[in-house]
Amino acid sequence: MIKIAVYGKGGIGKSTTVSNLSAALSDMGYKVMQIGCDPKADSTVSLHGKDKITTVLELVRTKKNDFSLEDMVTEGYGGVICVEAGGPTPGLGCAGRGIIAALEKLAEKGAYETYQPDVVIYDVLGDVVCGGFSMPMRGGYADKVFVITSGENMAIHAAANIATAIEGFKGRGYAELGGIILNRRNVKDEDAKVAELASDIHSEIIGTLSRSDTVQEAEDLGKTVVEAFPDSEMAEEYRTLAKELLKICGVITC
């Protein structure tokens, strides 16, 4: 089992990318579990097609510990196991602590042993990297962290903060930085800006995604690009990226 955490600034296209990676990996024959770690709880929506699924924190709030593992998961496209951590009641509680509680509850209920996924992907908000938002980086959770950014200044700033957090955890057995994913917004000097970021944090750009109307068209259908438009150039980009992640994680060699 390989465990990957994907971080990025809110609105950078992180959940769209992660869901398409999950769909692509499923099509390749891998059993995938995607865990949304954003309080908005919308990471997996394009995989299962429902407006909303019950989050782990909702179950904890309403049922304490009186619920089953099956109550926490929803099956999506290609058998992808979808989980949403959720967040606290608005105005009450800490979203970071909520992620900690949700991930601990998944482990307590035996999610990984029961479903035995080949790939676990944590989709994590990257505007802040403290407390619970760093939980997926910790030992026992992700093995590699990938950061999604565009050439926009705020996205690059968030990516640099994430890299700094990973560097700070070095030596504790936490996840390593696997590389940067460039999700193009077609801003001025985008490639050069992201290349400079990669150099500054001693990493590399391991994949690029085009800015494409196909992504929005798929989202309008409530699906991933991989499901809605499998023969599109954009779907092929996601498949190529999925293979690169597997290579970096040592699953495939070519």
The catalytic site residues sit at 9, 14, 40, 127
Coil/strand/helix, residue 60: helix
Calculate the alpha carbon distances from 61 to 41, 43, 149, 220 in Å.
Answer: 15, 21, 34, 32
- Distant-in-sequence contacts of 107-111, Cβ < 8 A, 24+ apart: 109/68, 109/69, 109/72, 110/69, 111/33, 111/69, 111/72, 111/73, 111/83
Give the residue ranges of DSSP H helices in 109-175: 111-115, 153-168
| Bridge partner list, 4 | 121, 144
Give the separation between CA 32 and CA 53, rounded to whole angstroms. 18
CA separation, residue 24 to residues 169, 193, 235 (Å): 31, 28, 8
Neighbours of 205 (CB within 10 A): 15
Residue 211 and residue 219: Cα distance in Å, rounded?
14
Rounded distance between C-alpha atoms, residue 75 and residue 80, angstroms:
6
Residue 249: CA count within 13 A, CB half-sphere: 22
Q: Does residue 47 sit in helix, strand or coil?
A: helix
